[in-house]
């Protein structure tokens, strides 16, 4: 018998996210690092809460798989211990904070975005892009969020695509460098270049230095949309979580630049949350497409078939898709320049 239970779960979905977000805000999971447990009374004392809200927070966090019972108290689940403790290599709290502070409230006005076909997190009439802002904290939050999402996604991509078959990687729109850092840690013979806006390259250089990879990963400052050509000398080009930001003509133009920049036999890797060919899911990809309505002027999430068609039209051959499961992408459409 059909029931409204699936609809109620959609209604309550935001409650789960906000419970996660407030746990990150309070530093709950970082305080419990290393196996420490906490009782309701101890949580009330540490966070300056009454007993009732402390109890509700711990119980709700446990129900979401973020905490688990430990005697009379609660401790981090394996998920929280690995990804929600500040300072851990794949700390995901930055993504939670960014979503909570930057995109959550605009989502309340999604009907406005649908009616106007305009982003809600920035104003195209007064700003050149979402990064054109006087709020440096927001920009810092964005890049921290991208590192936390991209690092684990890069690991998943490297498990299904052999970047060791290449010697020089160009990461177009590579941001803070999470993908090249992960790849170069795994592959000692790989060299990489990040091509992004100059102020983004400065952030990437900090991350590269912190990883001890300054001699193997370089940066080139520029606008990959405005520049007539991409930097040459690379045998694989990565476009990870880039093409969903733009409309089809822009993406076709960028793929044409990739084709021109690669040698014969060179590969392009388009890493994204891919819709199925019927455009009915998966929900992660479809809902990210809705988020592009909130955040961009022309972005949307595309299907594997759409990317394949564009690649063939750009002159690429041997198009295939490698599937995986990660927070920032579920697959990569790969093609070769003949």
Distances (CA, A) of 226 to 12, 203, 252: 43, 21, 14
End-to-end CA distance of the chain: 55
Reply yes or no on whether 259 is catalytic.
no
**Catalytic entry in 166, 199, 234, 244:** 244
The Cα 165–Cα 162 span in angstroms is: 6
The Cα 271–Cα 55 span in angstroms is: 42
The Cα 300–Cα 245 span in angstroms is: 7
Distances (CA, A) of 221 to 93, 120, 218, 227, 321: 29, 28, 10, 10, 30
Residues 6+ apart with CB under 8 A from 106: 113, 120, 121, 294
Our CA angle for 302, 141, 327, nearest 5°, is: 40
* Torsions phi, psi for 28 (to 5 deg): -55, -50
Residue among 272, 258, 271 nearest 336 (CA): 258
Q: What is the rounded radius of gyration, in angstroms, for the C-alpha atoms of the chain?
A: 21
Our CA angle for 147, 150, 151, nearest 5°, is: 80
- Tokens read off for 274: 């891919």
The Cα 77–Cα 83 span in angstroms is: 10
- Any idea which residues carry the catalytic annotation? 244
């Amino acid at each position: 018998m059909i029931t409204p239970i699936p609809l109620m779960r959609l209604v309550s979905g935001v409650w789960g996210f906000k419970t996660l977000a407030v746990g990150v805000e309070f530093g709950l999971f970082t305080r419990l690092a290393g196996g420490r447990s906490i009782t309701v009374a101890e949580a009330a004392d540490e966070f300056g809460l009454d007993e009732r809200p402390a109890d509700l927070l711990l119980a709700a966090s446990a129900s979401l798989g973020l905490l688990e019972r430990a005697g009379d108290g609660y401790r981090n689940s394996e998920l929280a211990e690995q990804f929600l403790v500040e300072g851990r290599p794949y700390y995901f709290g930055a993504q939670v904070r960014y979503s909570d502070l930057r995109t959550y409230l605009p989502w309340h006005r999604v009907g406005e975005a649908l009616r106007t076909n305009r982003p809600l997190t920035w104003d195209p009439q007064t700003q050149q892009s979402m990064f054109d802002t006087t709020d440096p904290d927001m920009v810092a939050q964005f890049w921290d969020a991208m590192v936390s999402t991209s690092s684990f996604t890069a690991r998943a991509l490297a498990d299904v695509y052999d970047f060791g078959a290449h010697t020089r990687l160009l990461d177009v729109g590579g941001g803070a460098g999470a993908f090249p850092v992960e790849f170069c840690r795994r592959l000692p013979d790989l060299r990489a270049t990040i091509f992004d806006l100059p102020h983004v390259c400065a952030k990437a250089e900090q991350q590269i230095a912190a990883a001890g990879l300054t001699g193997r990963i370089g940066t080139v400052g520029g606008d990959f949309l405005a520049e007539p050509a991409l930097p040459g000398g690379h045998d694989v080009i990565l476009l990870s979580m880039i093409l969903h930001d733009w409309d089809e003509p822009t993406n076709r133009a960028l793929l044409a630049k990739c084709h021109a920049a690669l040698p014969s036999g060179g590969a392009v890797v388009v890493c994204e949350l891919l819709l199925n060919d019927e455009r009915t899911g998966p929900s992660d990809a479809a809902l990210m497409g809705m988020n592009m309505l909130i955040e961009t002027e022309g972005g949307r999430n595309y299907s594997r078939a759409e990317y394949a068609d564009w690649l063939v039209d750009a002159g690429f051959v041997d198009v295939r898709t490698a599937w995986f499961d990660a927070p920032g992408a579920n697959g990569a459409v790969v093609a070769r320049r003949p």
